[in-house]
Every structure is written in structure tokens, then in C-alpha cells.
Amino acid sequence: MGLFGRRQFLTVWSALLAAPLVRAEQAARTHRVGFLSTSGGGTDLRRALLDGLRDLGYVEGRNLEVLLRHGAGKIELLPEAANELVRAGPDVIVTSINATTRAALKATRTIPIVMVIGTDVVAEGFVASLASPGGNVTGLTWGFDAGQIGKRFELLKEAVPHVSRIAALWDPGQDAASARSALERGASAVGAQLIVVEFQDDLDGVFATAVGEGAQALITVGGARIFRRRKDVVALAAKHQLADVHYTRDFVEAGGLMSYAPTLLGNYERAAAYVDRILKGARPADLPVEQPTRVEVMVNLKAARMRGVTLPQSILLRADRVIE
């Protein structure tokens, strides 16, 4: 064997011997995943994300470190929480609603960001397009689009045909900018007058205002603050005999009448796949944003009785889940 042949042989042999060591080093590496939320709650949602990551081989305490930061329920505190998270040096950041994605994007244009509940993501400037995000943000969208909001109005009208004045509870500080126009179109499509009421800590006062303006039904639009008060929201809807439809099934499980929505836990589980691909080298710019592929109808018959509503068979047959 000549000198060149021996050198070539030794080089190849060294590479073969080193390969298992490289794989072992990669397997042993601890990946740092940041999670930015509006508050410290939502443990079941984070658990869904961690379950999804575990299925892909990432186990907290073994090869995964989760860095949690939040705004203590205050949107104005999110920028500092995002900056603090970026300083901690995560490999990827997972965000929840638009306000958290906005804060994370302002804090970094280089660390990959996976959004779980993105709304109006192109108009918000998070991505260039759903098919080709083009920056450091990708992930999943949520059902705040005009189509799904319109379907919720249709569901209300089908459940309570006589309804002519519908209150919409929304949080303008957290919801997508186009939500207002989508609400107006949805109400107009079913021939109802829209009464927009903005979220406030004094929910009793908010509902009193809506009922005072003649509201017969209620639609919730979104926002973490509204979500955290979901038990209060559905209790007040029952108190004022308002037929209510919501943007996530959690409200129905808390005592609300109906929901038309994707599954929130499902989005968090799906986000794990984005995190995995990014940790393996994929660029957010090249990962298309995913839209909900399945929307579920859930109804609560106990809530219907409390509101004096008799749900038609057409809704019951279409429901994916009925709470007795």
C-alpha cells in the first residue's frame, strides 16, 4: 500500500471510529427550548408541548431544558420577559398568542420562534407568507380568521333563530387587528346587530353593559385574559341567559354552551414537530406555517338547560362531543 493509500485508509478509518462518538455527543447534548407566555398558568398546554417533544425523543432533565418566561398576566411586561428569555440563550423560542410572538420577534431576529396560536400572521408582519415565512418565525395559526368567526355566528343563529343582537367579548390588546371587521361581517351575515364589549377586570360590569344594550347572545373572540376568566365568562352568560359560543372547547368544559374551534392542546402538541425540525437544523424561513385542518363542534346540554335553550338536532348530530 503506497503512502497516499495508507493516508486515505487511515482518514476513512478515523472517520468511521469517530462517527459513533459524534452521534453520542449529539444525543447527550441538552437542547434549550424557551417558552414565552402571557402568564405563568397554562400548565396543561405546556404539558402538551412537552408530551409532543417527549414522543420525539426530548426528555426534560435528560436532553431538554425548558426556559419559562411570562408577563405575569400583563401585556406591557412581555417585552422585558422576552429580552430576559433571549439573554438566557435558548435554541428556539415557543410563543403562544400574537402578543408573545410580537415581543419575541422584537427581542430577536435570529433565534428561531415557533408560534402556537398565530392569528393574522402575514398582516402582523410575523411571516412573509404562510407557504414561505422568510424570517425567523414559523408555527401554527389559530381559528380567529373570518371564516371560523363567521361559522360561530351561524352556529348561534342555528341554536337560537330569534337572536338579533349579539355581544362580542374581545380583548383589543391581544387579538388580531382584523378580528373587529370579521365580527362585523359575521353578525351581518346572520342578520344580527353586533354589540362589541371590550374585556375589563370588572366582568360583571361588562356583561351588564352588553345586556343593557339588548344582547341576547354572546361570542368570545380570544385573548389570554379572557381565557383565564373563562369560568367567570360562562357563569355570567348563564346568569344573564345568553346563548354563548366560544373560540375554544375549554369554555364549554367550564360550563359554556357551544364552541367551534380547533383543539388548543392539539396545536401545542403539533408545535413540538416544528421545534424538533429546527433543533435538527431546519430554518424557520423554510417551514410553512400550518393552519388548522380539523375544527370541532362541542355542545353542553346542561348549559343549554341553564340558558333555556333547546339545541336543534342538526347541531347535536354535527357535534363532535356532547356534554350531558
**Residues 104-140 pLDDT 10s:** 999 999 999 999 988 888 888 999 999 999 999 999 9
Element (H, E) at 67: strand 64-70
Element (H, E) at 231: helix 230-239
Q: Read off the pLDDT of each residue in 160-184 and give the average, rounded to a whole number.
A: 83
Q: Which CATH superfamily is 146-261+295-323 part of? A: Response regulator (3.40.50.2300)
Q: What angle is formed at CA 32 by the lines to CA 116 and CA 174, rounded to 5 degrees?
A: 30
As given in the structure block, the three cell numbers for residue 40 are 405563568
C-alpha 275/C-alpha 284 separation (Å) is 10
Most confident by average pLDDT, 76-85, 115-124, 285-294: 76-85
Given a contact cutoff of 8 angstroms between Cβ atoms, the answer to whether 35 and 46 are in contact is yes
Predicted local distance difference test score (pLDDT) of residue 46: 87
Predicted local distance difference test score (pLDDT) of residue 21: 46
Predicted local distance difference test score (pLDDT) of residue 222: 78
**pLDDT by residue (tens digit) across 29-63?**
899 999 999 887 778 888 999 999 999 999 999 99
User: Does position 176 have pLDDT exceeding 90, yes or no?
Assistant: no
Adjacency order of strands within the sheet including 165-170: 193-198, 165-170, 217-220, 243-246, 258-261, 296-300, 321-323
First to last CA, the chain: 82
What is the percent of the chain with per-residue pLDDT over 70, rounded to a whole number? 88
Predicted local distance difference test score (pLDDT) of residue 22: 41
Given a contact cutoff of 8 angstroms between Cβ atoms, the answer to whether 33 and 67 are in contact is yes
| Domain boundaries for CATH 3.40.50.2300 within the chain | 30-142+264-286, 146-261+295-323
Q: Read off the pLDDT of each residue in 222-244 and give the average, rounded to a whole number.
A: 92
Local structure of 169: helix, strand or coil: strand
C-alpha 115/C-alpha 137 separation (Å) is 7
Predicted local distance difference test score (pLDDT) of residue 294: 80
Given CATH 3.40.50.2300, say whether it is the number of domain 30-142+264-286: yes
Global pTM? 0.76
Predicted local distance difference test score (pLDDT) of residue 6: 53
